Structure 1
Amino acid sequence: MLWFSLLFLFGLVVGSFLNVCIYRLPLNKSVVTPPSSCPHCGGFIRWYDNIPLLSYLILGGKCRVCKSPISIRYPLVEAFTGFLFGFFFCEFVLRGGQPVSVYLAYVALSSALIVSSFIDLEFYVIPNEITVWGTALGPIYSLLFPSLHPSADPLRGLTLVCNERLNAVMASLLGILAGGGLVLLTALLGSLALRKEAMGMGDVKLMAMVGGVVGWKLSVMVYFLAPFFALAGSVPLLRSGEGRKLPYGPFLSMATLVALLLQGPFIRFFDSRLFILSEVVKGNF
């Protein structure tokens, strides 16, 4: 509980920065300078009015100067980020025995997904500053911390290299190819069938970034989980009769978080089938 509390507080601070990214990246503004200001009156926000979560509650959700309402998104992003930072540590490190390096990769990916999702919801675009850099960092991080992609026993006989770090890099690259490739193929086929853009390239790059961290197996899981979230999200719009289209990025993000939490049973199931396949390939059946 101590670790959860400490990391929850740290996550609140990170969530506050993510809110800055969500607001400024679509406007092509620096996320570092100038200091935060009210989007309505332009007044700079003092440090005591910028304490994550707490300041929103004290101010009653309104700007101290102009009394304009502050979007509920700000405390929601902060609280959700704080929860993920604490919960992921308890789940993956304390209970799952994963290295801290894996935890850091997961919370970094989750942070990128949070920013991407909220920007996509409002502007129907996913910034390249997040996805392109995130995709590039996947293989680099895997080289430095190969525990992110440990060798799977069912495929041990099929690995192309014996070096642990190179195997991890290859696993990350394969994840990028699988994640981005599946969505790209869907986008191309959908565009041919519908004669209009079915999915944006932002979704392709988002899934490539996800694949670089989670690997190709979980990328497949995310790909097949996301439509269920999209279906659930479209029901309220269908009932209301609104013609507003839904961005797909948030559903890919939700599916990724679920895939991370369910990766144990899913990968065990996947590996059991791959073991049989590898034995067939080697002629042992």
Structure 2
Amino acid sequence: MFPAVFYSLAPALAAVVGLCVGSFYNVCIARYLSGESIVFPGSKCPVCGHRLRWWENIPLLSFVLLRGRCRGCQGNIHWRYPVVEALNGLWAFLLIHKFPLLPGAEMEWLALWSGYMLIGGILIIVSFIDLELYILPDVYVYPGILLTLAFAFFVVEPFHGAPTFKEALYGAGIGAGVFLALQRLYRLLKGHEGLGTGDIKLMLILGALVGWQGLPMMILVSAFSALLVSAVYMRRQQQGMQTMVPFGPFLSLGAMVYVVAGDLYWELVR
């Protein structure tokens, strides 16, 4: 049991933690792209090698203070860094509104919130790698599958609005099965791949995360956001319909939206 003011400040504190953890996710993304260890060397500019001081590593604030430029070479800091930090901070903030921290249930809530944060972190990491390399790396996807199923089995059962373990299993099986069928059908009709195997494996995470009931809304949000972004991108780049846009980030977005806003969906369809 904490002082009453703690429960009032919990959303803001959660957002700050999310920002800080998002900074580490940036390290995971950048080091995967460069092939370096996430432990060594320390944080540095990828262009000039300038070693970052502690005050150059403050989530979001350092980007603003440095005006989006490296202190060493004055090169632009990649837009990915503030976006990942902001997304993870927002995710942390929205989770605590979806699952409020209540007196007497602190440890159960911490397990739930931490689990969702870890799964969301994996989705953010693989999504931004997918945007750059058009792959969903197994080194993050496979642990994500195990983590999500374990999370559904050990943690979420007591909480209203979170799928049970059985619902998570059905969601993973149905989601991955539908995408596998779509992949085979597209290959049969077109003679080449239209949906990556990585997306099918990702659906094991996402289906387990939202449960079978959440799949329709998740896919709807994913498809709508993908079409919208693709249309804007193709118009700006003046490229045709053959432009390749990875679907993994949009699937992840749809699942995360369902986790924090699924109640609104059910209110609309009832």
Fold match (TM-score > 0.5): yes
Matched, 1:19 2:22: no
Whether the aligned pair in 1 keeps the contact of 2:23 and 2:85 (CA below 8 Å) is yes
Is the 1:178–1:220 contact (alpha carbons within 8 Å) kept by the matching residues of 2?
no
Q: Which amino acid aligns with 1:70?
A: I
Against the structure 1 CA distance between its residues 12 and 150, is the aligned structure 2 distance closer, same or farther, given a 3 Å change threshold? closer
How far off is 1:142 after superposition? Answer: 2.5
* Bigger-Rg structure (1/2): 1
2:186 aligns with: 190
> Which of 95, 115, 118 pairs up with 2:125?
115
Assess if the C-alpha contact under 8 Å between 2:148 and 2:208 holds in 1. yes
Q: Where does residue 216 of structure 1 map in the other structure?
A: 212
Give 4+ residue runs of structure 1 displaced > 6 Å after superposition: 148-152
**SS of the counterpart of 1:70?**
coil
Q: Counterpart of 1:205?
A: 201
Give the superposed CA RMSD: 2.8
The aligned residue for residue 254 of structure 2 is 255
Count how many residue pairs are aligned between Structure 1 and Structure 2. Answer: 256
Q: Which amino acid aligns with 1:209?
A: I
Whether the 8 Å CA contact 2:94–2:260 is kept in 1: the answer is no
List per-residue Cα deviations over 1:252-277 (Å, max 9, x = no partner).
1221122223322545788x8xxxxx
Asked if 1:242 corresponds to 2:242, the answer is no
Go from structure 1 to structure 2 and tell me whether the alpha carbon gap of 1:68 and 1:148 turns closer, same or farther (over 3 Å shift).
farther
**Paired residue secondary structure (1:93):** coil
Moved more, 55-64 or 230-239: 230-239
> Which letter does structure 2 place at the counterpart of 1:36?
S
Unaligned runs of 5+ in 1: 153-166, 273-285
Partner of residue 10, structure 1: 17
Given the superposition, is the C-alpha separation of residues 268 and 135 from structure 1 closer, same or farther in structure 2, using an over 3 Å criterion?
farther
1:180 offset after TM fit, Å?
Answer: 1.5
Question: Is the 2:171–2:208 Cα contact (8 Å) retained in structure 1?
Answer: yes
Indicate the residue corresponding to 2:41 in structure 1: 34
Q: Report sequence identity in percent.
A: 35
Aligned to 2:112: 102
Q: What are the Cα deviations for residues 123-157 of structure 1, in whole angstroms up to 9, with x where unaligned?
A: 111111221111012222223224278799xxxxx
How far the C-alpha of 1:109 sits from its partner, in A, is 2.3
Measured in 1, the distance between the counterparts of 2:160 and 2:14 equals 26
- Equivalent residue letter for 1:48: W
